[in-house]
């Protein structure tokens, strides 16, 4: 019965469409979780909004000197590699929080908790360099109904590392698919991302979740 259910595209589509109706359109499904709607959050977390840009970090590709121009292409100084606090926003509201590790082999590992009410989830991605201090990331995970995998979410993001190498910002989109590869209606999500590096010698990036 379990195998028949998973292989029957009509039943899979019906289940995913039902889930999409129950989920608000600005919500991202976290790794390993079917959906996340923030209903279990405290009022303080539900009201958290994306912080305004502080203007302290320089993300530009403009250089003021020949030396700075050369440093712009120095991967040892400006790189996505390492451990980061990663925060997602959608519609200007807090959506997901996690710790992400970018590895030299072009892979990424994310441990996220939704907006602190989605449990402890792990998922993986692959990245490539798209330009000076800019990176493209594709991130994928299964969508579950109970213990049954009924679909796949594909998240894509573009990230830019600050000139000091300790922060990044970017945008993300997510689309959900059934197991036959058909996009599930009503499951397109998008928003912005911020990241703060975690490393020896750097101050730990409190406060959480922001």
Establish if 105 belongs to a structural domain: yes
Instruction: Report the pLDDT value the prediction gives residue 42, as an integer from 0 to 100.
Output: 57
Residue ranges in the chain whose pLDDT is less than 70? 1-49, 52-76
What pTM, to 2 d.p., does this model score?
Answer: 0.73
Establish if 56 belongs to a structural domain: no
pLDDT tens digits, 140-174: 999 989 899 999 999 999 999 999 999 999 999 99
Establish if 107 belongs to a structural domain: yes
Instruction: Report the pLDDT value the prediction gives residue 1, as an integer from 0 to 100.
Output: 34
Q: Can you give the CATH number for the domain in which 122 is found? A: 2.40.128.120
Domain count, the chain: 1
- Cα–Cα distance measured from residue 132 to residue 74, given in angstroms and rounded to the nearest whole number: 9
Instruction: Report the pLDDT value the prediction gives residue 41, as an integer from 0 to 100.
Output: 54
Q: Write out 43-65 in H/E/C secondary structure.
A: HHHHCCECCCCCCCCCCCCCCCC
Establish if 58 belongs to a structural domain: no
197 burial via Cβ count (<10 Å: 0-12, 13-18, 19+): buried
Establish if 64 belongs to a structural domain: no
Establish if 165 belongs to a structural domain: yes
- Domain that residue 185 falls in: 2-44+77-198
Establish if 174 belongs to a structural domain: yes
Instruction: Report the pLDDT value the prediction gives residue 48, as an integer from 0 to 100.
Output: 66
- Provide the CA 81 distance to its chain's centre, in angstroms: 16
Residue 69 DSSP SS3: helix
């Amino acid at each position: 019965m379990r195998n028949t259910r998973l292989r029957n595209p009509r039943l899979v589509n019906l289940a995913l469409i039902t889930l999409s109706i129950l989920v608000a359109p600005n919500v991202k499904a976290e790794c390993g979780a079917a959906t996340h709607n923030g209903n279990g959050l405290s009022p303080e977390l539900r009201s958290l909004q994306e912080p305004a840009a502080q203007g302290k970090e320089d993300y530009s590709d403009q250089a003021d000197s020949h030396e700075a121009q050369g440093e712009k292409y120095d991967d040892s100084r400006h790189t996505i590699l390492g451990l980061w606090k990663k925060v997602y926003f959608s519609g200007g509201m807090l959506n997901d929080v996690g710790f992400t590790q970018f590895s030299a082999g072009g892979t990424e590992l994310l441990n996220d908790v939704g907006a602190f009410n989605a449990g402890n989830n792990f998922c993986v991605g692959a990245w490539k360099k798209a330009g000076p201090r800019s990176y493209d990331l594709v991130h994928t995970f299964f969508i579950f109904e109970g213990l049954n995998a009924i679909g796949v979410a594909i998240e894509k993001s573009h990230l830019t590392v600050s000139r000091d190498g300790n922060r990044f910002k970017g945008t993300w989109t997510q689309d959900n698919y059934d197991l036959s590869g058909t996009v599930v209606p009503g499951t397109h999500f998008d928003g912005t991302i911020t990241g703060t590096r975690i490393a020896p010698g750097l101050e730990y990036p409190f406060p959480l979740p922001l």
